[in-house]
């Protein structure tokens, strides 16, 4: 693709809300399989997943041609990590534990080329995909989301969202619960406690007021649908590992229950 052929539209320019898949397992085949299930975007998790950089690149390659938007959650606010995953072809980054406007500005700087940021130029795989005009196209084609998941980040959400160049925020419900309630509630997704629901919707309201994207991690399809209806523009539904465990546990339970029924029916009557 030549510079003249670089698309002006962003792959993010599609009707929302966007349904996101989450990849915790280091496997290109399972990444491709997940991407072909009807998701809008797929996120490779390099923070809490068990995937390293090289395998993560292979997973991004596996997502190519499936039509999904490839996203990576990096381990931390680190310009080197952010630059490497973008050079590998990610079109979005989710960065954990953003607590201040200064950190949000550092995130934007790591994603954008000068004069809008400080990203070093060397889009190894990204240039193969998007051509010589990638530098300019990336201003629209690459999105950066700051995770709001601590008490400090929650308190600074409006200032964080006011950061020029930041595309939106992403709610981490488990850490947000720990940050706001301590040990009053167990960490986890799909929060239904009144205080936590109010906090989550407050983040959505702040994003809406700033005209930016709000995303959230969900476990259950019903909860994800509700968050989409509540105005979240990006909802993550489960993960490869969570879905595998849930389906496998259900199958094993059904098998065991069938075996118990068979034994019960085969047992001689005592009457």
- Residues designated as active site: 48
Q: How far apart are CA 271 and CA 268, in angstroms?
A: 9
């Amino acid at each position: 693709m030549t510079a003249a052929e670089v698309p002006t539209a962003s792959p993010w320019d599609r009707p929302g809300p966007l349904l996101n898949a989450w990849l915790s397992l280091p496997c290109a085949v399972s990444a491709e399989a997940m991407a072909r299930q009807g998701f809008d975007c797929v996120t490779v998790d390099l923070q809490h997943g068990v995937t390293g950089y090289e395998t993560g690149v292979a997973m991004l390659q596996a997502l190519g041609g499936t039509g999904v938007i490839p996203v990576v959650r990096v381990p931390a606010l680190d310009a080197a990590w952010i630059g490497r995953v973008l050079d590998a072809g990610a079109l979005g980054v989710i960065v954990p534990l953003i607590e201040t406007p200064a950190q949000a500005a550092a995130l934007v700087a790591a994603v954008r080329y000068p004069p809008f940021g400080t990203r070093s130029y060397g889009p190894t795989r990204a240039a193969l995909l998007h051509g010589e005009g990638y530098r300019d196209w990336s201003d629209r084609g690459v999105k950066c989301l700051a995770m709001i998941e601590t008490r400090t980040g929650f308190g600074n959400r409006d200032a964080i969202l006011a950061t020029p160049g930041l595309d939106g925020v992403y709610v981490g419900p488990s850490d947000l619960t720990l940050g706001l309630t301590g040990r009053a509630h167990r960490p986890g997704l799909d929060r239904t406690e009144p205080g936590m629901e109010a906090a989550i919707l407050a983040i959505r309201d702040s994003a809406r007021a700033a005209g930016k994207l709000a995303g959230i991690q969900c476990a259950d399809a019903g909860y994800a649908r509700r968050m989409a209806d509540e105005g979240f523009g990006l909802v993550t539904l489960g993960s490869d590992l969570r879905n595998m465990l849930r389906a496998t546990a259900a199958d094993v339970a059904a098998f065991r229950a069938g075996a118990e029924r068979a034994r019960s029916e085969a047992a001689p009557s005592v009457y």
